[in-house]
Structure 1
Amino acid sequence: MTALRIPEEISARIRATAGNRCGYCLTYQRYAMQVLEIEHIIPKAKGGTNDEDNLWLACRLCNNAKGTKTHGVDPLTGRRVKLFNPRGQQWQRHFFWSDDGTRVNGRTACGRATVGGLNLNNEIALVVRRNWVSAGWHPPTI
C-alpha cells in the first residue's frame, strides 16, 4: 500500500483532533514504537475519499487489521454491523476497558464487531498494555 500523502497542516490537525492516539485502541503516539498512521475511515477501495472528514489516526496494528473492512459481525447477535468510526462516534459509548486495563471490551454491537474485526485484544497488544499498566501509563483517560 502506498503511503498517504496529505498536507502537513491537515496531518497536524488530524493528529491534534485525535489527541495523538489511535482512534481504535487509544494507543498514544508517545508510547508507540512506530509513527501513528493517517487512515481512511471508509477505505478508498470501498469509495472513500482523501477528504479530511474521512481521515483519522490509527496505530499500524489497528490500521493493518482494519484493511478495507467497513463492517464486522457482532459476536453476541451474529448481525453484520458497521465498524466504529472514530471521527463520528464516541469511544466510551462503544467500548470500555477491562478491570485490569488491558482489554478493550465492546459495549455495543458496533463496539463488539470492531473489537473482533480489528483484533484489538491481540497477544502483542495485551503484553504491551500489561507493561503500560505496570508503568502507570494505561488505561488512557478518555
Structure 2
Amino acid sequence: MSYIPKELRQRVRETANNQCGYCKSLQKYVLGILEIDHIIPKAAGGSDEEDNLWLACRLCNSYKGTKTHGMDIETNTTVALFNPRTQKWSEHFIWEREGALIRGLTACGRATVLALQLNNPYAVMVRQAWISAGWHPPD
C-alpha cells in the first residue's frame, strides 16, 4: 500500500474534476470516495508520482486491478488500456442508450470497456437511474 500525501490527492481530485476517469461517474453520485488509481499499477512498475495518478470509482479500480493492457476483440490485438491523464475520453468512447452504455470507438476504448467491465449490469442499472433523475450522462 502506498502513501499519497493529502495535498497530492487533492490535486489529482481537482484535475480529474471529481469524476472517475474511466466510467465518468461523478463523486457526488457515487456511494463512497473515488479512489486514487495508479494508471500504471505499482505492481507493474508504476510510481506514486502525480503523472501516474487519477481518480477511479471502486468498481472501475477493482476491475482494472493490475491490468495495463486488454484485448480488442475487433482487431484481435492486445493494446494498452485507456489513460485518463493523457488521452481524451471522447476520442475513445461514446455514450449509447442515452448514456446507459459506454461503447469503445478505438482499439484502446474497446479493450478498456471489456477489461474494466464498464457495462456491467450494476453500472448500467445505476446509470439508468441517474438518467431518469437528469444526472447523467455528465458533460
**Bin for the TM-score computed over the shorter chain:** over 0.9
Residue in 1 aligned with 2:127? Answer: 129
Deviation per residue, 1:40-92 (Å, 9 max, x gap) = 00011110011111011000000000000000000111100000000010000
Residue in 2 aligned with 1:51? Answer: 49
Residue in 1 aligned with 2:72? Answer: 74
Residue in 2 aligned with 1:24? Answer: 22
Unaligned runs of 5+ in 1: none
- CA distance, structure 2, for counterparts of residue 34 and residue 126 of structure 1: 18
TM superposition shift of 1:100: 2.1
Deviation per residue, 1:75-125 (Å, 9 max, x gap) = 111100000000010000000000321001001000000000000000110
- CA distance, structure 1, for counterparts of residue 124 and residue 97 of structure 2: 13
**Is 2:105 the partner of 1:138?**
no
**How many corresponding residue pairs?**
139
Q: TM-score w.r.t. structure 2 length?
A: 0.98
- CA distance, structure 2, for counterparts of residue 45 and residue 52 of structure 1: 17
Equivalent residue runs for 1:58-137 within 5 Å? 58-137=56-135
> Which contiguous aligned blocks of 4+ residues in structure 1 show a shift greater than 6 angstroms?
none
Unaligned runs of 5+ in 2: none
- CA distance, structure 2, for counterparts of residue 24 and residue 49 of structure 1: 20
- CA distance, structure 2, for counterparts of residue 9 and residue 112 of structure 1: 34
Secondary structure of 1:85's counterpart equals: coil
- CA distance, structure 2, for counterparts of residue 54 and residue 101 of structure 1: 28
Equivalent residue runs for 1:3-18 within 5 Å? 4-18=2-16
**Is 2:10 the partner of 1:34?**
no
- CA distance, structure 1, for counterparts of residue 55 and residue 99 of structure 2: 22
Secondary structure of 1:68's counterpart equals: coil
Deviation per residue, 1:14-45 (Å, 9 max, x gap) = 00000000000000000000100001000111
